[in-house]
Structure 1
């Protein structure tokens, strides 16, 4: 089979196309023919060594063992099963829950031995991948590409919204709202939990793309640009006062402003730092305003099931910017890092087109 391997820490030149044997499913595993694999920040930061210390990266202290096939947002068909797997799984279309862990239900995402597909295990930048049968869920939509965009981003966004316990009548501000996680945060907070959403994006217009209109289609009540010189004042004005919660994937660039517009007793949840990994914090802001802060990564299997159910019901819709063939993984990751996109970038192993 064809696979794309990360050969070590560095730039996109560390991605190499290789030919290797199709893996064999072991006990309680299935072999999946990958039909689509969406790109996430996590595999780019893994390659760049942005996690951990001493240039190590990944979800385990020892760092990633190279070469490694990245990719965690996987949709495909089960084509072979290992021992002790129910034969009914053969031929089913699935998406993967993206990590293993020994943690108990509800705590599996904070277990010390959490190991991620595409980081600790070979992932979906390939024509085939093996994965535990119990971590394969029925594909929520009939289309592989559309179903592939939810595993990591959707689980992350769903867990964030559940953490802040968003409610009807509350206002939730979503930063990076045009990205993979952000566009799902907008939908989940508004369409599933009933909150009023203020979406923060870069430019309101990107070429022919009207981000303001598209964000409102996804459920945002207001759409504002982080480039505004008086963004905090605009937020307070459109909301008629301070907001209830912030769902943040940006980090430093909008951190101080986010705390400024939060009400007393407000909630701040962060699951990304694309705009800066370190910031200055005056602790007095936190305790004098009684702000609750959440760090958030991925989520639980039960949350994953609830998220997929909402997708299947049409409450959450896939937002896809473009697709690339698997062989164009370098170009796809380069494009992924550009600003002004709306939604996910997806790799297609069977595709022969030239991408965006």
Structure 2
């Protein structure tokens, strides 16, 4: 089969298109013919070594074992089952829950042995992938491409909104609102949890589409008066911030939060380090959450909301598998709205 492998830490030159054997499913696994795989920040940061030192970077302390096939937002058709798996699963269209762990129900995402498909296991930048049968769920939509955009970004966004317990009548700031996680934060916070959303993005060319996703207001982080703009639009401080940017908007986020407000971060595309005055945290009684992925129960709730039409797929551009380098370069461009997809060619 064709697959794209990361051969080491570095730039996109570390992505190589190769021919390798089709994997065999173990007794509790299934073999899936990949139909679509969306791109996430996580596989780019994994390649770039952003999760640790240059020699050991990944979700696990030992770092990534190269070569590794990235890709964690995967949909496809089950074509073979391991000997302990019900044969009736063969032929099903599935979406993959993106990690394995021994954590108890509700705590799977914070277990020490949490291992990610596309980082600790070979992922979806390939024509076939193997994965435990119990982590393969029915696709929420009939389209492989549309169903592939939710797994990591959607689960991360759902968990973020769930952590802050957004409520109807509350106002939530969503940073990076044009990206994969951000655009889903907008939808989930507004259309599932009923909150008012103020979306922050770079350029305002997509503001009408972001409003269609559920944002009440769309502002640019380039504004010199962003804090004042937020407070004026909301008639005062906001209840919560859902952040994927990090340093670039951290100070403003804390400024506009109300006393007792909540700040939840799941990414740091605008800088991984910041200056932080602890007095802001304790004098305003701010609660802070670090957030990555979520639980199986949240994944199921998300799939249900998607199937009911409460959350819609947002796709920016589609690339063939053999253009993975170009796709990752494009992914890092500013101004896109929604997800980037890789499709194996039939």
Partner of 2:192: 192
The answer to whether the aligner puts 1:314 opposite 2:314 as a matched pair is no
SS in 2 for 1:327: helix
Partner of 2:238: 243
2:318 to 302, 316, 323: 323
- Cα distance in 1 for partners of 2:140, 2:127 equals 21
After superposition, give the CA deviation of every residue in 1:254-289 in whole Å (9 maximum; x if it has no partner): 000000000000000000000000000000000000
- How big is the shift at 1:350? 1.8
Partner of 1:148: 148
Q: CA RMSD in A?
A: 0.6
- Cα distance in 2 for partners of 1:244, 1:56 equals 38
Partner of 2:329: 334
What does 1:38-117 correspond to in 2, within 5 Å? 38-117=38-117
- How big is the shift at 1:55? 4.1
- How big is the shift at 1:108? 0.5
- Cα distance in 2 for partners of 1:59, 1:27 equals 25
What does 1:217-228 correspond to in 2, within 5 Å? 217-228=212-223
The answer to whether the aligner puts 1:305 opposite 2:326 as a matched pair is no
- The count of corresponding residues between Structure 1 and Structure 2 is 346
The answer to whether the aligner puts 1:282 opposite 2:277 as a matched pair is yes
* Unmatched 5+ stretches in structure 1: 206-210, 352-356
Partner of 1:204: 204
Partner of 1:354: none
After superposition, give the CA deviation of every residue in 1:283-339 in whole Å (9 maximum; x if it has no partner): 000000000000001000000000010000000000000100000000000000000
The answer to whether the aligner puts 1:258 opposite 2:258 as a matched pair is no
TM-score, reference length from structure 1 = 0.97
- Cα distance in 1 for partners of 2:207, 2:74 equals 29
- Cα distance in 2 for partners of 1:40, 1:55 equals 22
Asked if the contact 2:9–2:54 (Cα under 8 Å) also holds between the matched residues in 1, the reply is no
SS in 1 for 2:26: coil
- Cα distance in 2 for partners of 1:47, 1:67 equals 11
SS in 1 for 2:13: helix
SS in 1 for 2:260: strand
After superposition, give the CA deviation of every residue in 1:143-198 in whole Å (9 maximum; x if it has no partner): 00000000000000000000000000000000000000000000000000000000
1:346 to 337, 341, 345: 341
Partner of 2:137: 137
